[in-house]
Amino acid sequence: MSGRLTIVMYHYVHELAGQGFVKLVGRTYDEFQGQLDYLERRFTIVTPEQFIDAVKGRCALPANACMLTFDDGYRIHYSVVFKALRERGLAGFFFPPARPVLEPSVLDVHKIHFTLASTAGAAEVARQLCDWLEMNAVAFSLQPVASYKAAYAKASRFDPAEVVFVKRMLQKGLPDAVRTAAVDALFRNLSGYDEALLSEALYLRAHEIAEMVDSGMYVGAHGYDHRWLDTLTVAEQERELDLSLSFLEDVGAPTENWIMCYPYGGQDPLLLDGLRRRGCVAGLTTEVAVADIGRYDPLLLPRLDTNDLPLHRDG
């Protein structure tokens, strides 16, 4: 028996070739199936019950334990992922933000994705963002564009500097009112999508989530608006948590001994206090490491990205 746990983080998983939102970055259908083959061969995929019991100290995990997590509540998580897991007799842990399930809206994070995935290209998106900032600098008392670039135009593990610049500026680099206005302007001008129609096609529906819960999948909290929770006031954090729990209750998901998955990995001590007071037993971050139940704070468990693991059975 062991406390080590490889938690794998997925976002978008594509349908068969040529179907769905083909420009979104994610695992192809064949890659996903191949990685499941690899994980089943090398690991023991844990159930929600095993994970909760382990973090509560009621039992140890099996050797080579692995946990499959799926962020952001894409509808493909029902039509492709849920089906694939059910056929294999596996359980997954799903973390949908509440707002796009309940309202015909697209999260800012996905407006940014679809804008960057447009035919304009990332360089043009970055250029238009800079133009927008310059045109609105006086109205919103903005800093010079060069200072924003110095702070945010830095390549990450997966993205070049210009993409990171757009993402960080539009996720948290600007005051909320400015950020929302910039996101909406770029999405409207470049993405080519109607927001309500995109929301319907992109996100899980409440009845689909309820079916997944009834079939043994775990559904946990991922915030209401998918915001960087460590940038919010305590009152705003508590609103996000309370609305998330209300949403989980509505779809039949657990609201006792429940799990939080932090949007963008953002958290802080005040948020952790709020989680503990509400009975949260585990929190999933974007720190890259294999978790060790008992060594890590259960509210700060690291994960591996799907890109960190092989994509075929014999990898």
CATH number of the domain to which 234 belongs:
3.20.20.370
90 with 210, same domain?
yes
214 with 302, same domain?
yes
**203, 95 in Cβ contact below 8 A?**
no
114 with 73, same domain?
no
Please state, in angstroms and rounded to a whole number, the distance separating the CA atoms of residues 94 and 203: 12
In one-letter notation, the amino acid at residue 300 is L
| 11-56 pLDDT, tens digit each | 999 887 656 776 778 899 999 999 999 999 999 999 999 999 999 9
- Which string of b and e fits 228-258 if b means at least 16 CB within 10 Å? bbbebeeeebbebbebbbebbeebebbbeeb
Please state, in angstroms and rounded to a whole number, the distance separating the CA atoms of residues 298 and 295: 9
158 with 252, same domain?
no
pTM listed for this prediction: 0.90
266 with 178, same domain?
no
In a domain, 245, yes or no: yes
101 with 207, same domain?
yes
Q: Look at the alpha carbons of 99, 247, 59, 82 in this order and tell me if their dihedral is positive or negative.
A: negative
9 with 154, same domain?
no
| 98-149 pLDDT, tens digit each | 999 999 999 999 999 999 989 999 999 999 999 999 999 999 999 999 999 9
181 with 209, same domain?
no
45 with 64, same domain?
yes
**228, 266 in Cβ contact below 8 A?**
yes
Other CB atoms within a 10 A radius of the CB of residue 206 amount to: 15
156 with 272, same domain?
no
Number of domains present in the structure of the chain: 2
226: nearest Cα among 127, 97, 110, 116: 97
In a domain, 197, yes or no: no
H-helix or E-strand spanning residue 177: helix 176-186
87 with 169, same domain?
no
Domain that holds residue 155: 108-192
